[in-house]
Amino acid sequence: MKKFIELTSTAVPLPIENVDTDQIIPARFLKATTREGFGDNLFCDWRYDANRQEKPDFVLNNPTYSGKILVGGKNFGCGSSREHAAWAIQDYGFDVVVSSFFADIFKGNALNNGLLPIQVSDAFLQNIFTEVARNPATQINVNLEAQTITLLSTGDQATFEINPYKKSCLLNGYDDIDFILNQREAVAAYEASQAG
Amino acid sequence: MGKTLVEKIWDAHVVKSDAGFPDILYIDTHFIHEVTSPQAFDGLRKRGLPVFRPKQTVATADHNVPTLHQDQPIKEELSRYQVDMLTKNCAEFGVELYGLGHPFQGIVHVIGPELGITLPGSTIVCGDSHTSTHGAFGCIAFGIGTSQVEQVLATQCLLQQRPKTMKIEVNGQLAAGVTAKDIILYIISKISAAGGTGYFIEYAGSTIESLSMEARMTICNMSIEMGARGGLIAPDQITFDYVKGREFAPKGEQWDAALEKWSKLYSDEDAAFDEVLTFDAADIEPMITYGTNPGMGMGISGHIPSRESQPLSEQPSFEKALDYMGIEADAPLLGKEIDYVFIGSCTNSRIEDLRQVAEFVYGKQKSPKVTAWIVPGSKQVEQQAIEEGLDKVFEAAGFQLREPGCSACLGMNEDKIPAGKYCVSTSNRNFEGRQGPNSRTFLASPLTAAAAAITGHITDVRAMMKENAYV
């Protein structure tokens, strides 16, 4: 898995609530059998019209905004369990998603791919939206070790929660399979206890 | 202090629990399908690992299959490739596959229960968020991503944080024309599309206890639509009667032993839930959604909320949803003309759903401007419908009975609702473009969907049932 340690980048604001995984990557693009290439269709129906022309009012088509941090509204990633949503966001070039609330499955999928979901308060989220709108060149620092997210233009900082195990996975690039494979004896013991 | 049902099942499946780490949870049954498994099998190949417990893994093709001419090769190249890939992977890794043409093929959450693979007290996962359906049997069942599919294939375990627990009680008698789908759409409309996030929900109360297994599955199915990982119902005689005698259910002495174990699957009276909500069945009318998430629902006789009734921060999203749907705040939905009706999906494609629709549409004729599709949940449901003569009833009423699959619920195959068109759908999601780019979805029960197909507009099924009674 891809490591994540620290990042300083500009951000792309998407101040919409309940961004579901069907918006992130519509079902008709789930026919691929590899993990790569989903970024081309990230937010496809918001990003392109029926003739695959870019819709100029969508933020990914606005050259003013760019960066490795996607900032979304409340309940980001709700809906389907498709991990393709996390792959699409990462494949497009984002390493961090910030929201005031994440849907469970999306959050897990993101963490399993080295895409860092950062949950902040509603107020801090608004703060980011305001600051990025005021100055799209605003740099944001994300430090996983310290669990902080900082608006470098104002110095505003928030801390974020992350499960300590998941944190160490991200910092070291380990995944859950590596972890469980090391626990084979415990699994065998459990199965034996059930068979009895 | 006693334990909740979720805690009992969870504790019985913990392989290891270390402070500071998620629990290692043992998975009894793993369902896989063509869309979320290919990258997981690839991962196994890269690591040089086999499927650890192939006999606890069951595969079917459902998300990406056509619902006409299933006896012929799939025309669409990418879909065919993906379905072929599942066949290849299952053969290589020794996993049982109920693929196209197999008498057990169907939507993964329909076939598990009907084959007796879904059993009370077990842990069940699948790379699909509606895995919560299996909770109707008193299971811990939840959807996972593809990395976790790989993890379960490799180890038969998952690393999981112990969830919070919520009890939702529904008590009292449902009115005529009000069904399980209306109960769950009502609950979601009350607690929002995110209200259950972080919880496993136990549904209880006299209304829930009176429901058939099919109806209970409809309820548990949509737990994810309020953000909950899973929902479950304590198994009882209705559960045991449903499971008994099914293809893979325990038989003979094993059945007796299983029943003994299953009879202990309930939340203790002194168990503490993190949250308890109570609803009265008498308050529930046929429901319909108006917006672009399942929380945006209302009683069918109601009006769409006003912009001002929404919290300030949510008003832009609310307006975006109404704009997408082409409807106005404060307006009623009754009488709104529609173009398509889709009866199917893992929420409402079981034999009971089809019987209910057949009974209602018998002797009636669909509106000529509506296209009405009925997509059974499985080959077995399709077969049973034909044996009971339901296909003739549907045909006479102008409804098309197709072959099993997920179909227009997510529009991965060719069953798409065209741009701008309105569909009353018995599925579970009304997200933008869910049923096809720029399609517009109203979620409702099979009865409400059938009524709309007949009249050509959104209709209160209760009024039509009264008419029937006078005939």
Q: For residue B29, what are the β-bridge partners?
A: B124
Residue of B nearest to A51 (CA): B437
B147 with A83: Cβ contact below 8 A: yes
Asked whether residue B209 carries a pLDDT value surpassing 70, the answer given is yes
Contact A180 B150 (CB under 8 A): no
Distance CA B323, CA B309 (A): 17
pLDDT of the residue at B471: 40
Nearest by CB to residue A180, choosing from B20, B155, B317, is B155
Q: Which residues pair with residue A7 across a beta bridge?
A: A142
Task: Calculate the average pLDDT of chain A.
Answer: 96
Subunit contact B16:A82, Cβ cutoff 8 A: no
Convert the pLDDT of each residue in B383-406 to its tens digit. 999 999 999 999 999 999 999 999
Measured distance CA(B127)–CA(B129) in Å, rounded = 7
Partner-chain residue, chosen from B145, B293, B313, that has the shortest CB–CB distance to A105: B145
CA dihedral B225, B227, B229, B232 (to 10 degrees): -60
The predicted complex's ipTM stands at 0.96
With contact defined as beta carbons under 8 Å apart, do A2 and A173 qualify? yes
Mean of the per-residue pLDDT values of chain B: 97
SS3 B427: coil
Q: Are A183 and B15 within 8 A, CB to CB?
A: yes
Question: Is A31's CB within 8 Å of B78's CB?
Answer: yes
Euclidean distance between CA atoms B84 and B81, whole angstroms: 5
Q: What would you report as the CA-atom Rg of chain B, rounded to the nearest whole angstrom?
A: 22
Asked whether the beta carbons of residue B15 and residue A23 sit closer than 8 angstroms, the reply is no
pLDDT of residue B82: 97
Cβ within 8 Å, pair A33-B85: yes
Contact call for residues A14 and A59 (beta carbons, < 8 A): yes
Angle at A148 between CA A145 and CA A150, to 5 degrees: 135
- In the predicted model, is pLDDT for residue B252 greater than 90? yes
**In Å, how far is B158's CA from the nearest CA of chain A?**
8
Write down the pLDDT at residue B468: 63
Which residue among B129, B193, B320 sits closest to A80, beta carbon to beta carbon?
B129
Closest residue to A164, CB basis, from B20, B155, B156:
B20
Q: What is the pLDDT of residues B109-144, one digit of tens each?
A: 999 999 999 999 999 999 999 999 999 999 999 999
For residue A33, give the nearest of B20, B38, B144 by CB distance: B38
List CB contacts (< 8 A) between A26 and chain B: 433, 437
Residues of chain A contacting B26 with CB distance shorter than 8 Å: 187, 190-191, 194
Region A115-125: what's the mean pLDDT?
Answer: 98
Q: Which of the residues A43, A91, A100, A177 would you substitute to probe the B interface, choosing the one with the greatest number of B C-beta atoms within 10 Å?
A: A177
* Pairwise CB contact (< 8 Å): B147 & A75: no
| CA atoms of B77 and B82, how far apart (whole Å) | 9
